[in-house]
Amino acid sequence: MMLSNKAKIAIILAIIIITMIGTYFFWPRSSEYFIVSTTTSLYETGLLDILEERFEQIHSSYDVSFISQGTGKAIATAQRGDADMILVHDLGKELTFLEEGYGVNRKIIAYNFFIIIGPAGDPARVKEKTPLEALILIEEAGEKEIALWVSRGDESGTHAKEQRLWAAAGFNYSEIRTRSWYLEGGTVTGMTATLQLTDQKEAYTLCDMGSYLSNYAQGNIQLVKHVEAGRDTLNVYAAIACSPQTIENTKFAAVMEFIKFLISDEIQELLKDFGLLEYGETLFNPWIPMLTSGKKTDLIQWVKDYSYIEGTECPPQFRYKDGDLY
């Protein structure tokens, strides 16, 4: 049976309409892409891969990507508009980022500690000393040409912490870094590469606990812990959204969802367990449960003293459309 032209046109239109409806409801839709500029310690431990996978499972309309570098470079990336938020660990640089109008809604996520590690033989005899005592002994041993120190030398959060510790120990950092026993790994990339250089040189260095445990367990280094965690070596990680009032086209709504995700019960619980099975201890301690529990009051006060601004993690003048974040 021959169809009339009108019938043919009607069939074609029906096929087009059905195709359009099917495409709308069943074709994969593009996700909103946003970038987090963050530190090498979070990336190299494998934590970010887990966070990315879980976030995209929960929020299928978003696609998160990470740029991993030292805190100084991570912040500079966001200032250029090449990232939508930062996840870093240097209060001084974070405060500048906020004060200059680049960031809003700072939220503390987790903490761990820096430690001083070195060769098993411990030529500077720093075992079980305080961090400041250890640096004094390392300087003395360095001058006697029996010890070396390796620094990140890259304006990372670890490098910033190291500089503050040298100053607290009574040294002029600008002068210390010129000494023959003081080596900088500025041309290497990240904490893992710095640890490998330190291991190769049989030197001492400052390292966050997470990076040390993961690299030691993987056999990348033979260095051992000499100076354990304490108040002077506290290391606090915070998330900051890029301000849409200053940085054009930043994915503010997506970033706020990610920050809320980081402080959710599920992810804070994940942090508590992350590394426990493989390394025997948590790599990044969750901040929210400890704060809300009111336990470990001394440690809570350490974090507040070290990483609060005007008595809070984010003063009101640095908040923007924060909803129930605080």
**27-73 per-position pLDDT tens digit:** 444 579 999 999 988 988 899 999 999 999 999 999 999 999 889 99
The predicted-structure confidence for 271-287, as pLDDT tens digits, reads as follows 999 998 888 889 999 99
Could you tell me the CATH superfamily of domain 113-233?
Periplasmic binding protein-like II (3.40.190.10)
Q: Is the pLDDT of residue 203 over 60?
A: yes
> Domains of the chain: which residue ranges?
32-112+235-318, 113-233
Sign of CA dihedral 168, 174, 177, 178: negative
Sign of CA dihedral 84, 90, 91, 93: negative
The predicted-structure confidence for 66-97, as pLDDT tens digits, reads as follows 999 889 999 999 999 999 999 999 999 999 99
pLDDT of residue 294: 87
Alpha helices, DSSP H, located in 67-146: 71-79, 91-99, 131-143
Give the fold, CATH level 3, of 32-112+235-318.
Answer: D-Maltodextrin-Binding Protein; domain 2 (3.40.190)
Under the banding of pLDDT at 50, 70 and 90, the label for residue 2 is low
pLDDT of residue 176: 95
- Among candidate residues 208, 239, 213, 211, the one with its CA nearest the CA of residue 51: 239
Q: Are 190 and 67 in contact (CB under 8 A)?
A: no
Find the mean pLDDT for residues 186-194. 79
pLDDT of residue 3: 53
- Among candidate residues 44, 292, 73, 76, the one with its CA nearest the CA of residue 190: 44
- Among candidate residues 190, 164, 188, the one with its CA nearest the CA of residue 176: 164
Maximum distance among all Cα pairs of the chain, rounded to whole angstroms: 103
Find the mean pLDDT for residues 311-321. 97
pLDDT of residue 229: 80
Q: How many CA atoms lie within 13 A of 133 on its CB side?
A: 9
pLDDT of residue 187: 63
User: Out of 1-5, 22-26, 50-54, 146-150, which region has the weakest mean confidence (pLDDT)?
Assistant: 22-26
Token digits of residue 244? 């849409």
Find the mean pLDDT for residues 250-263. 97
pLDDT of residue 185: 82
Instruction: Enter the DSSP assignment of 232.
Output: G
Q: Are 150 and 198 in contact (CB under 8 A)?
A: yes
Q: Is the pLDDT of residue 25 over 50?
A: no
List of residues 6+ apart from 306 with CB closer than 8 A:
91, 234, 236
Beta strands in 119-256 (DSSP E): 149-151, 182-184, 205-208, 224-227, 234-242
Q: Do domains 32-112+235-318 and 113-233 have the same CATH topology?
A: yes
pLDDT of residue 26: 42
Q: Is the pLDDT of residue 167 over 90?
A: yes
Q: Is the pLDDT of residue 269 over 60?
A: yes
Token digits of residue 104? 């809003």
pLDDT of residue 188: 63
Q: Is the pLDDT of residue 20 over 50?
A: no
Burial of 299 (C-beta count, 10 Å sphere; 0-12/13-18/19+): middle
Find the mean pLDDT for residues 193-199. 94
133: phi > 0 → left, psi -120 to 50 → alpha, else beta; which? alpha
Average pLDDT along the chain: 90
Query: Could you tell me the CA-to-CA distances from 200 to 50, 79, 121, 149 in Å, in that order?
Result: 31, 36, 14, 12
User: Out of 12-21, 196-205, 261-270, which region has the weakest mean confidence (pLDDT)?
Assistant: 12-21
Instruction: Enter the DSSP assignment of 225.
Output: E
Higher-scoring residue by pLDDT: 106, 10? 106
Distance in angstroms (rounded) separating the CA atoms of residues 232 and 114: 9
